[in-house]
Amino acid sequence: MTRPKTDYLWVGAFAVLVAFAVPWFLWRDATTWAGLPVWLWWHIGWMALASGVFYLFTRGAWDRGMNVEREV
């Protein structure tokens, strides 16, 4: 069974999301913005990005991987 190139791109996209989910480079940084630590803003932004990527994933790759027809 061969996999389309897009499947490998999805694997890479999720690997990047996991790799940068924890902002190691912001540890011990006390900088704040709008009253919250920068590392917390990183998590808020990263979760928004991860949600967007997962939404795109569910629009095509998920259906193909589960062998179901996409409903319009």
- Tell which phi-psi region holds residue 34, choosing left (phi > 0), alpha (psi between -120 and 50) or beta: left
Mean pLDDT per 10-residue run, the chain (72 residues)?
73 90 81 86 91 86 61 61
**What's residue 65's pLDDT?**
58
Task: Note the pLDDT of residue 26.
Answer: 76
Query: Residue 51 corresponds to which amino acid?
Result: S
Write down the H helix ranges in 1-65. 5-19, 38-58, 61-65
Instruction: Find residue 37's DSSP bridge partners.
Output: 32
Whether the CB-CB separation of 52 and 59 falls below 8 Å is answered with no
Identify any residues that bridge with 33 across adjacent strands, giving them in sequence order: 36
* pLDDT value at residue 3: 64
